Structure 1
């Protein structure tokens, strides 16, 4: 089993290039991040080349965070902003050879939001396809992100089917899915054809995966039996020094 360090949470107190180096030193197989845009691509590329790690994914920007925005692509009337965020993400991903982009939906509801999201995803998929980039959508739980447009894997699967782009995939975050739907291993198997990336954290506290109500030794065994080919994303909140939380990395690697 291989693992990717999500540097939005792990070593978040360090500059992104240094966090990449820390992930390599800790034994991770890859990295991923949230919003790297303030860091020059040359610095990130140099750290990736130095460590031999690949940046697996990044997110589109949230929008105006001072106003509480958490994504733009399901907001009716904000198509120009949403597509500018998609273009920005694709350009950065191409520059650092990142294969996936999570397009954030935002806080919205209703038919107009559904139409806006599908249209923006179609745009994202068309722009990303020539670069071999997958577009990911991620359901977020109602406790951490009340009012977020996308909340369940079934909703995501319907959107993926309606958009109909081969490079549109589901980000299956075990933490969010467990809080909203449960039944993780059956859902992983059933949704495997549309899953583009898998992430994890303990439930309900979103800490390291060696505690809480989810038996990740079992979940990762199922993922291994599925023949899953790419590293799983450790997207948890360490609550202090990241290195002090990494006992699970050896225990759960299998």
Structure 2
């Protein structure tokens, strides 16, 4: 029997529209900066558009910047900095931000932050002013909802807050949907037929992460200055189909359950 959540989207032609913007400064209203960026690029929003927003735009606007010269590293930070060839001041910020530090390799720590497996708990020194480190937004879900509400006066929209991530045993960064508003982060395809008519038993489609990766391709990682991308034509469907968080508990994650069961992690 087909599950209620197995209703499928009807994708059309997907279009990605870059929104070039200037530097964001602390205290900026993210919604107004995005609105102005869209206007300055000669663009207009349409019903069904998804606005992909770089998490660093939100973090910078919120003033989530740490001056590293003012950080006093703990003994643990010094020890980990020596072990992993990292600035102890940066390590100290990671320690404060991480929910759990799982290990590391030269110049990076593997951490859990808000239920997400990520490098350095989201602490980053790229695309930040010299001498500073940026943190993840305080409330990514709240930021996504606020942006959607403020910009939906012109069209029926959804929002994805985009960060970057790495995939086990793969080189390179791809996009991560840190938060969404106005769309389901995943589609439950259990009970849907595959191309041979066999029912799917375990498949969930991570549509928000897919679209975050598509937008991340345009945003880039260097000096592109494209912190916002309009995703058009995704046709995700009714957000009420599945509004559950895409985050999995440790015991249900393929990677983490195996790592946990073969280590002394607590």
TM-score of the pair, normalised by structure 1: 0.27
Q: Which structure's relative contact order is higher, taking Cα pairs within 8 Å and 6+ residues apart?
A: 2
Please identify the structure whose Cα radius of gyration is greater: 2
TM-score of the pair, normalised by structure 2: 0.26
